[in-house]
Amino acid sequence: IPNTVQAYRASLLHFTDDPLHNVQGMQWHEDGLLIIQDGRVLAAGDYAQLKHSLPEGSSIAHFPGKIIMPGFIDSHIHYPQTDMIASPAPGLLPWLEKYTFPTERQFQNPEHAAEVASFFVDELLRCGTTTAMVYCTVHPESVDAFFGESEKRNLRMVAGKVLMDRNCPEFLRDTPESGARDTEALIQKWHKRGRQLYAITPRFAPTSSEAQLQLAGELAQKYPDTFMQTHVAENKDECKWARELFPQARSYLDIYDRYGLMRERAMFAHCIWLDDTDRRRMAETQSAVSLCATSNLFLGSGLFDFPRAQEAGVPLSMATDVGGGTSFSMLQTMNETYKVARMGGTYLPAARMFYLATLGGARSMKLEGTIGNFATGAEADFILLDPQATPLLARRSARTDSVEELLFALALLGDDRTIAATYAAGKLVHERK
Q: Residues interacting with ligand GUN, by CB under 6 A?
A: 78, 92, 96, 100, 203-204, 231, 234, 295, 321, 324
* Cβ partners under 8 Å of residue 311, min gap 6: none
Alpha-helical (H) ranges within 153-235 are: 176-190, 210-222
Closest approach, Cβ 157 to Zn ion, in A, equals 16
When CB distances are held under 5 to 8 angstroms depending on the partner's kind, the choice from Zn ion, ligand GUN, none that residue 416 binds is: none
β-pairing verdict for 427-431 and 129-135:
unpaired
Nearer to Zn ion, 67 or 162 (CB): 162
When CB distances are held under 5 to 8 angstroms depending on the partner's kind, the choice from Zn ion, ligand GUN, none that residue 195 binds is: none
SS3 214: helix
CA atoms within 13 A on the CB side of 39: 13
Closest approach, Cβ 160 to Zn ion, in A, equals 13
86-124 residues labelled b (16+ CB within 10 A) or e (exposed) = eeebeebeebbeebbbebbbebeeeebbbebbbebbebb
Closest approach, Cβ 259 to Zn ion, in A, equals 19
Nearer to ligand GUN, 149 or 321 (CB): 321
- State residue 135 phi and psi, 5-degree precision: -90, 135
Site stretch for Zn ion (CB under 5 A), options 13-21, 163-171, 181-189, 321-329: 321-329
When CB distances are held under 5 to 8 angstroms depending on the partner's kind, the choice from ligand GUN, Zn ion, none that residue 203 binds is: ligand GUN
Task: Judge contact between 377 and 369, C-beta under 8 A.
Answer: yes
Nearer to ligand GUN, 146 or 204 (CB): 204
Nearer to ligand GUN, 25 or 324 (CB): 324
Nearer to ligand GUN, 100 or 251 (CB): 100
321 belongs to the binding site for Zn ion (CB under 5 A): yes
* Cβ partners under 8 Å of residue 115, min gap 6: none
Nearer to Zn ion, 274 or 385 (CB): 274
Closest approach, Cβ 136 to ligand GUN, in A, equals 11
User: CA nearest 381: which of 44, 27, 131?
Assistant: 131
Closest approach, Cβ 328 to ligand GUN, in A, equals 15
Task: Judge contact between 356 and 318, C-beta under 8 A.
Answer: yes
Task: Judge contact between 25 and 16, C-beta under 8 A.
Answer: yes
When CB distances are held under 5 to 8 angstroms depending on the partner's kind, the choice from Zn ion, ligand GUN, none that residue 100 binds is: ligand GUN
Closest approach, Cβ 204 to ligand GUN, in A, equals 4
Residue with the shortest CB distance to Zn ion? 321
* Cβ partners under 8 Å of residue 340, min gap 6: 293, 296, 297, 303, 304, 306
Closest approach, Cβ 218 to ligand GUN, in A, equals 22
User: CA nearest 14: which of 25, 24, 27?
Assistant: 27
When CB distances are held under 5 to 8 angstroms depending on the partner's kind, the choice from Zn ion, ligand GUN, none that residue 72 binds is: none
Closest approach, Cβ 312 to Zn ion, in A, equals 22
Task: Judge contact between 298 and 269, C-beta under 8 A.
Answer: no
Nearer to Zn ion, 33 or 162 (CB): 162
What is the distance, to the nearest Å, from the Cα of residue 123 to the centroid of all Cα atoms in its chain?
Answer: 14
When CB distances are held under 5 to 8 angstroms depending on the partner's kind, the choice from Zn ion, ligand GUN, none that residue 430 binds is: none
Residue with the shortest CB distance to ligand GUN? 324
Closest approach, Cβ 115 to Zn ion, in A, equals 22
Nearer to ligand GUN, 92 or 362 (CB): 92
Site stretch for Zn ion (CB under 5 A), options 121-129, 316-324, 328-336, 363-371: 316-324
Q: How many residues bind Zn ion (CB under 5 A)?
A: 1
* Cβ partners under 8 Å of residue 88, min gap 6: none
CB neighbourhood size of 48 (10 A):
11
List residues binding Zn ion (CB under 5 A). 321
